[in-house]
Amino acid sequence: MYAVEMKDIIKRFGSFTANNGITLLVKKGEIHCLLGENGAGKSTLMNILFGLYRQDSGEIRINGKSVENHSPLAASRMGLGMVHQHFMLVDALSVWENVVVGLEPGGFRIDRKESIRKVQELSDRYHFELNAEEQVGNLSVGMKQRVEILKTVYRGAEIIIMDEPTAVLSPPEVEQFLMILRDMRADGKTIIFITHKLKETLAVADRITVLRAGKSVSTIEAGNASARELAGMMVGHEVDLEIERPFNEAGGAVLSVEGLRLLPNAASTVSFDIREGEIFGIAGVEGNGQKQLEEMIMGLIKCREGRISVLGKDVTKLGTRKRRQLGIGYIPSDRLNRALLSSFSLEDNYLLGKQFSDNYVRHGIVRHKAVKEAAGTLMREYDVRAAGMDQAAGSLSGGNQQKLVVGREASDEPKLIIACQPVRGLDIGAIHYIHEILLKLRKEGKAILLISAELTDIQQLSDRIAVLYKGEILAARKNEDFTEEEIGLLIAGHREAV
Ligand SMILES: Nc1ncnc2c1ncn2[C@@H]1O[C@H](COP(=O)(O)OP(=O)(O)OP(=O)(O)O)[C@@H](O)[C@H]1O
Ligand SMILES: [Mg+2]
């Protein structure tokens, strides 16, 4: 018996066909992984299933019952739940309030005690380790995600759609999350799980459906699958994802950080230099001062202790714009809020951060022709796939958004590039592509600070690696001088072990 049957789904956006006759059959009680490159049509298909978008044609059945023109509310009533990547929680409210609120129709009284009991019981059943009365604002990203899952389960969801839930989680959180999926499956839930990580897919999936360019390639049993084969199905040909980091002579210091206090209670401050033609990687679980480091270097938050200089110039007191004018390209970790204006066109997004440059704006007037030309060149060079320059940046697939940002920040000859979580949410091909770009920039002599929660990124790209833990650098060495095990131990805070 199928929990979900989607047949020949077609969905167009203007002249672009995002879903081009997709069929997806999900069995009751299975974990079904949905794979595909950025832009393959996964989120579109799930938004259709959940009633957020309407398909142009094709049939949908939920538990054997045909559904048409359904709203998300109707989908919820049929036992469907969706966990979005952007959480929809109220920080000032407690866990149980977030779970229960919005559910009771107006005028109903909420029985506080009973609600807390019910929410706690559900949390315990799936080993969520949440306290129903804790305020949501105090929770880590991973814990907030559990609240989102709890919301769907509390509302009676039997079929749960999760669109890239692991993209925001640290490696240990991912492990716990996969355990939760298994617990939910054991409890009879049906799960549709979207991820770009083949390792996660192979660890939990019962069956896997691969999409490519808006079509379903095939559905296979996970037991018979290998990462190589899946990658091939996603991309459409054999993939070679090896990357080489040839020797590169480093030049003079471009960025110098001295005695910076990242977290108020850090045991010590951090200091390092990054030189021309060098990639300096910051390894560690997010939340250990990465965000503070990023924001202090860019002048987005004040640094109360320590000094930052770029090319010998003290920038500690300068604002973001002045710093950028010294030649800093910035790839922010928060792509949607810091790097792009989602509802603006690609052309306008290209201009972001360059609005003070004479090349594009003169006497306060935007030189549209010049912007268009430069943006067009960038889109070709960096392989940004879009319907046209007028498309809103927010409707590009994640990979294409990131290529746009990286391309924009690498143009106009920066001396220093601050690359934060540059491959988050990207498919394997796009990751490879961004890696190549970063290595190319290194070869051109740019100094690159790479902050990434992905250890493979750090290891493949960095000349030197520093491990950040609770706001402190536990060790900084040449890449070759670390073993993988040592980095793992340091990331977990075991400084004595190495
Ligand atoms: N509202 C929209 N308007 C125009 N095009 C859209 C819209 N939503 C999606 N698209 C396009 O449809 C294609 C499929 O997008 P979708 O978000 O479904 O991809 P995805 O498989 O989820 O990719 P990712 O892995 O990057 O999340 C993309 O090329 C995207 O640009
Ligand atoms: Mg998506």
Domain limit, last residue, from 179, 201, 235: 235
Q: Which of 255, 244, 428 has its CA nearest to residue 329?
A: 255
Q: Whose CA is nearest to atom 19 of ligand 1?
A: 39
CB 346 within 8 Å of CB 404: yes
Residues 297 and 151 in one domain: no
Angle of helix 368-381 relative to helix 398-410, nearest 10 degrees, comes to: 120
Candidates 9, 15, 16, 198: which one to mutate for ligand 1, based on the most atoms within 8 Å of Cβ?
16
Residues 186 and 277 in one domain: no
Residues 200 and 285 in one domain: no
Residues 59 and 16 in one domain: yes
Q: According to the model, what pLDDT value does residue 43 have?
A: 92
CA 96–ligand 2 middle distance (angstroms): 29
DSSP annotation string for 155-184: TT-SEEEEESGGGG--HHHHHHHHHHHHHH
Please report which residue ranges of 299-427 form alpha helices under DSSP H.
320-325, 346-351, 368-381, 398-410
Ligand nearest the Cα of residue 41 is 1
- Structural domains of the chain, count: 2
Tell me which residues have their CB closer than 6 angstroms to ligand 1: 13, 16, 18, 36, 38-44, 395-399
Within 14-100, strands assigned E span: 16-27, 31-36, 57-62, 65-67, 80-83
CATH number at residue 105: 3.40.50.300
Q: Would 334 be classed as within a structural domain? A: yes
CA 387–ligand 1 middle distance (angstroms): 11
CA 257–ligand 1 middle distance (angstroms): 40
Q: Which two tokens stand for residue 365?
A: 């007037």
Candidates 11, 15, 42, 209: which one to mutate for ligand 1, based on the most atoms within 8 Å of Cβ?
42
Q: Which of 134, 135, 109, 131 has its CA nearest to residue 122?
A: 131
Q: Which domain holds residue 167?
A: 2-235
| Residue written as token pair 């960038």 | 378
Residues 123 and 150 in one domain: yes
Residues 149 and 268 in one domain: no
Ligand nearest the Cα of residue 84 is 2
Residues 119 and 50 in one domain: yes
Q: According to the model, what pLDDT value does residue 388 have?
A: 84
Angle of helix 141-154 relative to helix 171-186, nearest 10 degrees, comes to: 20
CB 478 within 8 Å of CB 269: no
Q: According to the model, what pLDDT value does residue 108 have?
A: 60
The DSSP letter of residue 300 is S
CB 212 within 8 Å of CB 37: yes
Q: Would 244 be classed as within a structural domain? A: no
CA 42–ligand 2 middle distance (angstroms): 6
Residues 97 and 59 in one domain: yes
Q: Which atom of ligand 1 is nearest to the CA of 400?
A: 26
Amino acid at 213: A
Residues 293 and 161 in one domain: no
Ligand nearest the Cα of residue 397 is 1
Q: According to the model, what pLDDT value does residue 104 have?
A: 55
Q: Which two tokens stand for residue 414?
A: 């920066």
* Alpha-carbon radius of gyration of the chain: 24
Ordered per-residue pLDDT tens for the chain, 498 residues: 899 999 999 999 988 899 999 999 999 999 999 999 988 999 999 999 999 999 999 999 999 999 999 999 999 999 999 998 778 899 999 999 999 986 655 556 678 899 999 999 999 988 899 999 999 988 888 899 999 999 999 999 999 999 999 987 877 888 999 999 999 999 999 999 999 999 999 999 999 999 999 999 999 999 989 988 999 999 888 777 778 899 999 999 999 999 999 999 999 999 999 999 999 999 998 889 999 999 999 999 999 999 999 999 999 999 999 999 999 999 999 887 888 998 999 999 998 888 878 888 888 888 889 889 989 999 988 888 888 888 899 888 888 899 999 999 998 789 999 999 999 888 888 888 899 999 999 999 999 999 998 888 999 999 999 999 999 999 999 999 999 889 989 998 998 877
Q: Would 245 be classed as within a structural domain? A: no
Residues 208 and 263 in one domain: no
Q: Which two tokens stand for residue 462?
A: 């960095």
CA 40–ligand 1 middle distance (angstroms): 7
Q: Which atom of ligand 1 is nearest to the CA of 398?
A: 26
Q: According to the model, what pLDDT value does residue 106 have?
A: 53
Residues 12 and 123 in one domain: yes
Q: Would 197 be classed as within a structural domain? A: yes
Q: Which atom of ligand 1 is nearest to the CA of 401?
A: 26
Q: According to the model, what pLDDT value does residue 169 have?
A: 82
Q: Whose CA is nearest to atom 1 of ligand 1?
A: 395
Q: Which atom of ligand 1 is nearest to the CA of 164?
A: 27
Per DSSP, the three-state class of 466 is strand
